[in-house]
Amino acid sequence: MGRFSFRSHSELKSKTTINNFIKYPKLLLIAVTFLFGGCVAFAAVERRSYGEGGLTIKEVTKLKDGTVRIVYSSKPESMWYCPGVDSKMTDKGLVLTFVKCLFNKKVSVNHSAGPLKKGEIWKVVIVPAKGGPVFLKSRKELKKLNLKAEK
């Protein structure tokens, strides 16, 4: 008569998995890549930009001194915030990119935002403008912002 060995299902499964990784090193490489690849990809993206859907722009005002004042709020998110705006003058006009970065990271922006009033969700940023139209960069598209003149 033969000897019987009783093993639990989890013990057999774990031995089989380990044996597969030993027999097939490519399988181990693929598993490690999927496990750590996502972590590295997420950590590498510390700075993004808000698109049109992630922002609510309340007001865009052309001030008498030639600057543009933008009152906005960004969509509340648990891991991201908007520290301010990057601006770039192009042949079309002034292009604004609202920066989106991780809460635990400090990034530099051309124009920092501050609260409009204490305790409100609205932020305000003032950007120098040389005249001409002002655009919001949303991914690869540009959306023209309607400027109001200061009263």
The angle that helices 25-44 and 9-23 make with each other, rounded to 10 degrees, is 90
- Distant-in-sequence, close-in-space partners of 65: CB < 8 Å, separation ≥ 6: none
Q: How many other C-beta atoms lie within 10 A of the C-beta of residue 101?
A: 20
For residues 79-107, average pLDDT: 89
Q: Are residues 85 and 71 in the same domain?
A: yes
Token pair for 25: 């090193």
> How far apart (Å, rounded) are the C-alpha atoms in residues 62 and 147?
6
Chain mean pLDDT for the chain: 77
Taking only the tens place, the pLDDT of each residue in 11-57 is 545 555 666 556 666 655 566 565 555 444 444 456 677 776 788 88
Residue bearing the bigger pLDDT, 85 or 120: 85
Q: Are residues 14 and 73 in the same domain?
A: no
Percent of the chain scored above 70 by pLDDT? 68
State the SS3 of 101-146: EECCCCCCCCEECEECCCCCCCEEEEEECCCCCEEEEECCEEEEEC
| pLDDT of 109 above 70 | yes
Q: Are residues 39 and 95 in the same domain?
A: no
Taking only the tens place, the pLDDT of each residue in 110-125 is 999 988 888 788 999 9
94: helix, coil or strand? strand
Q: Are residues 57 and 119 in the same domain?
A: yes
Residue 52: C-alpha distances to residues 22, 39, 71, 85 (Å): 50, 27, 14, 14
Q: Tell me, what's the pLDDT at 43? A: 44
Q: Tell me, what's the pLDDT at 50? A: 73
Q: Are residues 69 and 86 in the same domain?
A: yes
Q: Are residues 28 and 69 in the same domain?
A: no
How many structural domains does the chain have?
2
Structural domain harbouring 97: 47-149
| pLDDT of 58 above 60 | yes
Q: Tell me, what's the pLDDT at 45? A: 53
Any domain includes 89: yes
Q: Tell me, what's the pLDDT at 120? A: 81
